[in-house]
Structure 1
Amino acid sequence: MIETLVRAGHTVVSLEGPGHGRSPGEQANVVLFARALLEAAAELPPLRAVIGHSMGGASVLLALQMGLRTEAAVSIAAPARLLGVLRGFAHRLGLPARARAAFIRQIERDVGMQIARLDVTGYQLELPGLVVHAADDALVAADEAQVIHKAWFDSRLMLLEAGGHQRVLSDPRLGEAVLELLARAAAPARQSA
């Protein structure tokens, strides 16, 4: 996808979230990622689009609620409701009910926000967007994309039959869809009389 955008003449800046990969930090969560996006955006020229994958996609949507300015946004394989994701994770770990509840409370203390607030159905998403998900994603159910799309007034939903959670990023249709989104976002809005 990055190569497709660069070949089309776009400048791409890649941000590695706090506590991810080689980035410093001992914690990685959606709120920290969203804040990092806001800090990075403050140092960059006006953004044409912001693209996020998985937790990065959820972070883009949250950052938009926190004031991130961009012409368009893309959410790839992102969860719509983080509470459900965390409950599922705690359940897969085999934690008993009380421990699952304590786990959620601890995360809320860590991020400084109620996890129930991290739900796109309560977000105001008014810019052009693209929601991408693979049907065979084993980490984040494809139903999450439907929820995001329904909450996002001006979004296009792109459901791929295959691609899993990671391989979806290398699907050539993704790069083309992002280019189409950029063209749509750049087109002047029609006004009715």
Structure 2
Amino acid sequence: MPNVLTLLRTANGLLSPVVPRVCADVAAHLFTTPRRHKPPVRELISEQQGERLIIDRGHGFGQLSALRFGRGRGPRVLAIHGWEGRATQWGPLAEQLDRAGFELVALDGPGHGHSPGRRAHPVAFANALLDADRQLGPFAAVVGHSMGVPAVAIALRRGLRAEQAVLLAGPSNVETVLGRFEAMLGLSPAAARQFEARIAGIVGAPAEELSIAALGKELHQRALVIHSKDDREIPFADALDNVRHWPNATLHTVDGLGHRRIVRDAGVIETVVNAITAGQRS
């Protein structure tokens, strides 16, 4: 029995050259509508170890949910997950940061976890980081995973108060992310162009302005880029691009962790905590 993706590709192959706008609108809806996955047991434990916070976004934008880990006795670190992720994914990092004397505030992005909403994209995540900064900042560091990486760059460019950044398995180029999505859905060139225009209208900026290639040269914070060579969702080449375009970035390469295990790997967590701790001493 064909799966949903196969059916979509077949439909787009037939329809997107004929009715590109309709297919582009469907693609834009899919691209900005996350699914909420049931957290595994390890994350349910993390939920119990943290304290739920409500962040008021102001100006009629509603609220965000966040988890605060730690004893509130040291510098704060801010974290944002990736697409269809959750704040509870940062539980292992929170435990080690607490031992090192830091407090971790982990956001549920809009449309994710306990936060309300149905739509999400990197700019929405960046705005969430800025909302957290207004209520809880400044921060010793900000950590992002996957889609959270361009969100971190956008937020820093727009004034997020964080002394350093940690970028885990993140894309360097939003245009390339859109291109991969278009190819996955089998959009025609006309539908792809309209899809990109639709996304630009939703997020408020064209994709090229949201890429680290454009943003990095404006960022002064130190950045630690961590990426696994076997990542099948975001190619390792993106990590090289991130380091190339972020003046104060360094690369830490791992292998065998794919795209998601990197967030909870003990060695990666040790590297992150050491970097944040060293940043406070410098």
Superposed, which structure 2 residues align to 1:103-118 within 5 Å?
103-118=195-210
Aligned-partner residue type, residue 161 of structure 1: D
Which of residues 259, 262, 269 is equivalent to 1:165?
Answer: 259
**In structure 1, which of residues 144, 148, 157 is the aligned counterpart of residue 238 of structure 2?**
144
Separation (CA, whole Å) in 2 of partners of 1:136 and 1:32:
28
- 5+ residue gaps, structure 1, are 189-193
108-117 or 172-181: bigger deviation: 172-181
1:1-20 equivalence runs, <5 A: 1-20=93-112
Tell me, in whole angstroms, the C-alpha distance in 2 between the residues paired with 1:23 and 1:90: 28
Specify the structure having the higher radius of gyration (Cα).
Answer: 2
Letter matched to residue 99 of structure 2? R
In the TM superposition, residue 185 of structure 1 has moved relative to its aligned partner by: 1.7
CA contact under 8 A between 1:75 and 1:131: conserved in structure 2?
A: yes
Name the residue aligned to 1:87.
179
How far apart are 1:142 and its partner, in Å?
A: 1.0
Report the AA paired with residue 259 of structure 2. H
Structure 2 length as normaliser, TM-score? Answer: 0.64
Moved more, 53-62 or 20-29: 20-29
Which amino acid in structure 2 is aligned with residue 148 of structure 1? Answer: N
The runs of 5 or more residues in structure 2 that have no matched partner are 1-92
Hey, what does 1:179 align to over in structure 2? Answer: 273
SS at match of 2:108: coil
Structure 1 runs of 4+ with >3 Å offset:
none
Give 1:94's aligned amino acid. G
Give yes or no for contact 1:2–1:175 (8 Å, CA) kept in 2.
no
How far off is 1:80 after superposition?
0.6
Q: Distance in 2 between matches of 1:22 and 1:104?
A: 29
Q: What does the per-residue CA deviation read over 1:26-67, in whole Å, with 9 as the maximum and x for residues that have no partner?
A: 210000100110011110142001101011111001111111
Q: 1:79–1:140: 8 Å Cα contact kept in structure 2?
A: yes
Q: CA deviation at 1:169?
A: 0.8
Q: Is the 8 A contact 2:224 2:250 kept in 1?
A: yes
Contact 2:137 2:161 in 1 (8 A): no
Distance change (3 Å), C-alpha of 1:29 and 1:165? same
User: Does residue 98 in structure 1 map to residue 156 in structure 2?
Assistant: no
Determine the structure 2 residue equivalent to 1:191.
Answer: none
TM-score (norm 1): 0.93
Sequence identity percentage: 37
1:90-119 Cα deviation digits (max 9, x unpaired): 111111111111111110111111111112
Find the aligned partners of 1:144 and 1:22 in 2 and give their Cα distance: 30
Offset at residue 21 of structure 1 (A): 2.6
Contact 2:208/2:214, CA 8 A, preserved across alignment: no
Work out whether residues 80 and 144 of structure 1, in 8 Å CA contact, stay in contact via their aligned partners in 2: yes
Q: Distance in 1 between matches of 2:207 and 2:213?
A: 13
Higher deviation after alignment, 28-37 or 173-182: 173-182
Q: What is the CA-CA distance between 1:131 and the residue it aligns to?
A: 0.5
Distance in 2 between residues matched to 1:2 and 1:166, nearest whole Å: 17
Distance 1:8 1:184, change over 3 A: closer
Q: Determine whether 1:120 maps to 2:216.
A: no
Instruction: Give the conservation status (yes or no) of the 8 Å contact 2:219–2:246.
Output: yes
2:123 aligned counterpart, secondary structure:
helix
Q: Do the aligned partners of 2:150 and 2:211 also contact (CA within 8 Å) in 1?
A: no
Once residues 197 and 230 of structure 2 are traced to their aligned partners in structure 1, the CA distance between those partners, rounded to angstroms, is 31
